[in-house]
Amino acid sequence: MSDSIHISALRGLIGDHAVLTEPADMAPYETGARYDKGLAAFVARPGSTEHLSAAVAYCVQHGICLVPQSGNTGLVSGSTPDATGAQGVLSLDRLTSIFELDRANRSVRVAAGMRLSDLNARLEDAGLCFPIDLGADPRVGGMVATNTGGSRFLRYGDVRRNTLGLKVVLADATGTVLDLTSDLRKNNTGVDLKQLFIGTSGSYGVITECVLNLEPVPQQTATALLVPASPESVSDLLNAMEAAVGSYLSAFEGMSGNAVRAALDHVPSLRNPFQGGIVPDFVILAEISRSNTPRKGEQSLDEVLETVLEEIWEGEDQLLADAFVGPPGEIWAMRHALSEGVKHRGRLVAFDLSFRRGDVMRFLDRMKTELPVKFPDVTICDFGHIGDGGVHFNLVVARDDARMSDGAFENSLRAWVFDIAVQQFGGSFSAEHAIGRKNQAFYDRYTPREIRKLSASLRKVTSPGALGSMKF
């Protein structure tokens, strides 16, 4: 059958307005957040689970590959089509109509196309939030499909920890709808099937509804910028903070001097808080928070943080070179500006790595020594979630660097970094961005054959049709 017949059939199933074919209309869905650009055969935008099921079933029956796309904020080419023009984009951007709050259960049921910012805005009056803090504004379905973490993983965990239930459409000939929308926190009556669809990049099935755990919005917050005495002292500093404030510690974010300078240069409204304007080589954003409103006579969190830092400063281990408590909004503004600041420094080669917490600074130290020798004129602009072992290891190359004219240099750079991170440090090549086309070769390289075989078998059972950009 011709392409026009397929388009006509899909429009008959989900509505004329819900299938895009004009190049200008499809362009935003073909272009990713980090340099990737493909070519779509069409963009299907169903407005309900039933319509999405019908579209998936039709495409499976006719051998058409679909790439699920949520907010399209991913960085590993997981939500955009390839360059063949043969794949259809299955967008969730019209799946926004469901919002069912259960305050007593501290949970919410939402359509997968709802933006994180919209979700938290609607929860504000209830004093609740979905506690995954990100610089981007993704849609909930994509957050689940990639198992995002964020800056407050240390306190609240990742999306997996905060997902109670899902509704999923499988890529089979009938577009099977799997209703796993339990709102129970404890249920050991069988296999927890929802876990198959969390972090697997939409390849096992398309998420259309989510039941999420909610947390009280913190009512008290205090933040500080910490300058460690040395890279070796960072791990001990984290342990000292955890020992002193316990579960109050909600963030422990590492920021390299290069990344901070990039943010300050890119966003002139940011205030440089460092003495003499001299940015240190490495700085840590530490946050402590409470969900209760302040009680009469209760020590403020600013006072708690100042006391703790004073004790650490005066300790025998000499973990701090400098520290100061500052306004949370101002300090977090700098942290959230890092990604855009780094991106504007040049052509970016970005890595999303994770390590055992004690290995983070050892890895970074090794990179600072060896990378300039192996790859001259490449600048390291790293930052990340030191409290959970995550590192956004960003490398910046001049935009006019001839080495970036084809993919060979970038591929060799990625292979070298990943080999050290994964094989020598036992880390992960994808901490919280999941798997897309950019990471496929490294999944094949580092994942044991037995695990790949089992993963592919599960994929064939759940969604035998062509779905997603990931190949297990």
Closest to 90 in 3D by CA, of 65, 60, 68: 68
Confidence (pLDDT) at 189:
94
Provide the β-strand partners of residue 40: 87
| Residues in the chain, total | 472
Per-residue pLDDT tens digits for 29-39: 999 888 889 99
Whole-number Å distance between alpha carbons of 138 and 72 = 7
pLDDT digits (tens, 9 = 90+) for 228-273: 999 999 999 999 999 999 999 999 999 999 999 999 999 999 999 9
Q: Is the pTM of this model over 0.85?
A: yes
Helices 3-14 and 49-61 cross at an angle (nearest 10°) of 160
Confidence of residue 2 (pLDDT cuts 50, 70, 90): low
Alpha carbon separation from 313 to 255, 256, 465 (Å, rounded):
20, 21, 59
Q: Selecting from 3.40.50.720, 3.30.1490.20, 3.30.750.24, 3.30.43.10, what CATH number does the domain 3-93 have?
A: 3.30.43.10
Cα distance between residue 213 and residue 169, in whole Å:
22
| CATH topology classification for 346-438 | Alpha-Beta Plaits (3.30.70)
- Alpha carbons 259 and 449: distance in angstroms, whole number: 38
How far is 205 from 52, CA to CA, in rounded Å? Answer: 11
Please report, for residues 256, 262, 342, 392, 393, the alpha-carbon distance to residue 259 in angstroms, rounded to integers and kept in the order given: 5, 5, 6, 11, 10
Q: Where in the chain is the domain with CATH 3.30.70.2740?
A: 346-438
CATH class of 99-216: alpha beta
Residues contacting residue 265 through CB under 8 Å, at least 6 positions apart: 341
3-state SS, 369-383, equals HHHHHHCCCCEECCE
How far from the centroid of its chain's Cα atoms is residue 456's Cα?
A: 24
pLDDT tens, residue by residue, 182-234: 999 999 999 999 999 999 999 999 999 999 999 999 999 999 999 999 999 99
pLDDT (average), residues 456-472: 95
pLDDT band at 1 (very low <50, low <70, confident <90, very high): very low
Which whole-number Å values give the CA distances from 389 to 87, 150, 256, 431, in the listed order?
Answer: 36, 12, 15, 9
Q: Do residues 83 and 69 make contact, with C-beta atoms less than 8 angstroms apart?
A: no
Q: Tokens representing 137?
A: 């504004």
Tens of pLDDT, residue by residue over 323-343, are: 999 999 999 999 999 999 999
pLDDT at 299: 92
Helix (H, G, I), strand (E, B) or coil at 190: coil
- In the chain, where does the domain assigned CATH 3.30.465.10 lie? 99-216
Q: Contact 83/59 with Cβ under 8 angstroms?
A: no
**Residue 63 CB-density burial (10 A; 0-12 exposed, 13-18 middle, 19+ buried):** exposed
Residue-averaged pLDDT of the chain: 95
Secondary structure (3-state) at 262? helix
- Beta-carbon contacts of 41 under 8 Å, excluding residues fewer than 6 positions away, are 3, 64, 81, 85, 86, 87, 88
Domain 220-335: CATH class, spelled out: alpha beta
Torsion angle of the four alpha carbons 400, 402, 406, 408, in this order, in degrees rounded to the nearest 10: -130
- The whole-angstrom separation of Cα 361 and Cα 286 is 17
- What residues does 467 pair with on adjacent strands? 66
The residues of the chain that CATH labels 3.30.70.2190 are 220-335
* Whether 394 contacts 349, CB under 8 Å: yes
